[in-house]
C-alpha cells in the first residue's frame, strides 16, 4: 500500500476551543521508500497563536496572515492522502484538527469523503501507539524514537510539520522493518510482532549446528549448575 506520513502544527491544543491548523507536512513512501513526492503548506489560521504553541513551533499569526486558508488547499491535500496508509504520530490529535477543518468547509462531499472524516478515505496508523507496543514503559516521543533508531534530528530546533513528517517516515520504516524481513509485504506491522511463546510453540526457530566439543562443554556447565543449586537447570526442561 502507498504510505503517506503526515504531521500538523496548530494554534493551540483543542479545535473545539477554536484553534486551527497552521502547517501541514506530508511525505509519500512507495514500497516503503521515499518517492520524492511531498506536500507542505503554511496556513492562515485567521486567529492569533497561543503563546504555548508558539514556543513549540515558532509560528506567529503575523508570519502566517498572508498564507492561504485551509479551504484553498483542501482538495489538493485530500487527493494526496486518498487511498493511502496514513501514518501519524499521536494520530488522534492531528485527525481531530484535520476533521475539524474539513467540517468548517461546509461544502459538498469530496472524493468519497464521508462525515468530514479523514479516516473515510484512507487507512490510519498511529505510530505512537505502535511505538508503545514495541517499547512499553519507555519514552516514545519523536525525539526519543529518533535517538533509539539512530535517526539524526540535530536540525530539529522547533517542531515543523514537514521536518517532523520526514523524521517520522525514517523512524516508521525502521520500526516496521520486520515486515520485509518476514516477507509479509504491506500488512500491518503488528502482525510481524508475534510473541516469543507463539514463535517457540510454532517451532519456527532455526536450529543451530552444534559441534561435539560445544555440546560437551554445555553438558559440563549444566552439571555444575545442578551441583550448585540442587535443581535441574531450566535449559534441561527446554531440551
Packed helices 161-175 and 127-134: angle between N→C axes, nearest 10 degrees: 40
* CA gap 53, 30 in Å, rounded: 33
As a whole number of angstroms, the distance between CA 176 and CA 33 comes to 13
**Rg of the chain in Å (alpha carbons):** 24
- Catalytic residue selected from 89, 159, 218, 220: 159
Question: Would residue 159 show up in a list of annotated catalytic residues for this protein?
Answer: yes
Q: Give how far the C-alpha of residue 64 lies from the chain's centroid of Cα atoms, to the nearest Å.
A: 28
52's CB contacts (< 8 A; 6+ apart) are 12, 13
Active-site residue list: 159
Amino acid at each position: 500500500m502507498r504510505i503517506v506520513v503526515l504531521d500538523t502544527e496548530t494554534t493551540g491544543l483543542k479545535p473545539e476551543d477554536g484553534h486551527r491548523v497552521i502547517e501541514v507536512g506530508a511525505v509519500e513512501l512507495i514500497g516503503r521508500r521515499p518517492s520524492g513526492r511531498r506536500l507542505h503548506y503554511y496556513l492562515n489560521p485567521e486567529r492569533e497563536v497561543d503563546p504555548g504553541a508558539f514556543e513549540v513551533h515558532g509560528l506567529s499569526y503575523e508570519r502566517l496572515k498572508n498564507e492561504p486558508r485551509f479551504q484553498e488547499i483542501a482538495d489538493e491535500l485530500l487527493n494526496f492522502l486518498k487511498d493511502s496508509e496514513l501514518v501519524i504520530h499521536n494520530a488522534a490529535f492531528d485527525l481531530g484538527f484535520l476533521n475539524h477543518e474539513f467540517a468548517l468547509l461546509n461544502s459538498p462531499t469530496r472524493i468519497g469523503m464521508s462525515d468530514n472524516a479523514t479516516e473515510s478515505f484512507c487507512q490510519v496508523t498511529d505510530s505512537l501507539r505502535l511505538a508503545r507496543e514495541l517499547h512499553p514503559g519507555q519514552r516514545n516521543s519523536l525525539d526519543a524514537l529518533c535517538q533509539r533508531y539512530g535517526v539524526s534530528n540535530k536540525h530539529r530546533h522547533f517542531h515543523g510539520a514537514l521536518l517532523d513528517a520526514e523524521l517520522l517516515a525514517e523512524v516508521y520504516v525502521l520500526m516496521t522493518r520486520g515486515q520485509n524481513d518476514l516477507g509479509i509485504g504491506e500488512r500491518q506491522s503488528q502482525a510481524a510482532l508475534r510473541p516469543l511463546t507463539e514463535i517457540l510453540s510454532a517451532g519456527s526457530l532455526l536450529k543451530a549446528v552444534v559441534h561435539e566439543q560445544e555440546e560437551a562443554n554445555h553438558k559440563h556447565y549444566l552439571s555444575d549448575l545442578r551441583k550448585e543449586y540442587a535443581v535441574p537447570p531450566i535449559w534441561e526442561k527446554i531440551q
